[in-house]
Amino acid sequence: MAIVPAPWFATLNDKEQLFTLPLSGDQAIGSLFLQYRTSTVEWKLRLIASLRRTLTAWYR
């Protein structure tokens, strides 16, 4: 999980399994993104999914 500037994220070549949540205003300029890897173990997948649900509700 990371907060990165939007122009940096825009230059990435492989965004297939990246999920972004735009941040605006005083929160940040850029996006929070979570990446699922094929080697990610199940408990990490659940943690990432939980963070994504929670943060989506908070920042929208």
In the chain, where the domains are located: 6-57
Rounded to whole angstroms, how far apart are CA atoms 23 and 44?
A: 23
What are the phi and psi torsion angles at 50 (to 5°)?
-65, -45
pLDDT at 6: 72
pLDDT at 46: 85
pLDDT at 29: 47
Q: What is the mean pLDDT of residues 19-45?
A: 66
pLDDT at 17: 77
Q: What is the mean pLDDT of residues 24-43?
A: 63
pLDDT at 57 over 70: yes
Q: What is the mean pLDDT of residues 3-16?
A: 78
pLDDT at 41: 82
